[in-house]
Amino acid sequence: GAVVSQHPSWVICKSGTSVKIECRSLDFQATTMFWYRQFPKQSLMLMATSNEGSKATYEQGVEKDKFLINHASLTLSTLTVTSAHPEDSSFYICSASGTGGVSPLHFGNGTRLTVT
């Protein structure tokens, strides 16, 4: 089946630094990837839709200058949390769909970000 790899699985950083999270589709090409954020005991909140070769589409309330998304190839999207603060601590999950439409999204295993 389709595999999405997300790296790192966890990261601890100091306040004010930037952190990059990678999301790769290993055995399929993904023109679209999605980035979600999940707070403890809550559902997934869609942050942005990452489009290969073009700008990401951000959901309302998500700061595009803080959460930089790059989708430079059909198999890689990156999320960079810039100037991280403790309130950015969360579980970030990426997903991709190989053929769209009726295909389910396949999810990475998530990245636990802790900002100290």
Partner 1 sequence: AQSVAQPEDQVNVAEGNPLTVKCTYSVSGNPYLFWYVQYPNRGLQFLLKYITGDNLVKGSYGFEAEFNKSQTSFHLKKPSALVSDSALYFCAVRDIMAGNEKLTFGTGTRLTIIP
- Binding residues (CB under 8 A) for partner 1: these are 4, 6, 32, 34, 42-44, 46, 49, 91, 93, 95, 97, 100-110, 112
- Measured from the CB of residue 109, what is the shortest distance to partner 1 in angstroms? 4
Minimum CB separation from partner 1 for residue 92, in Å? 10
Residue the block writes with tokens 């990475």: 108
How buried is residue 39: exposed, middle or buried, by Cβ count under 10 Å (0-12/13-18/19+)? exposed
Between 6 and 84, whose beta carbon lies closer to partner 1?
Answer: 6
**Cβ 18 to partner 1, closest distance in Å?**
23
Least spacing, CB of residue 21 vs partner 1, in Å: 12
- Based on CB atoms, which residue is closest to partner 1, 16 or 104? 104
Residue closer to partner 1 by CB (options 15, 103) is 103
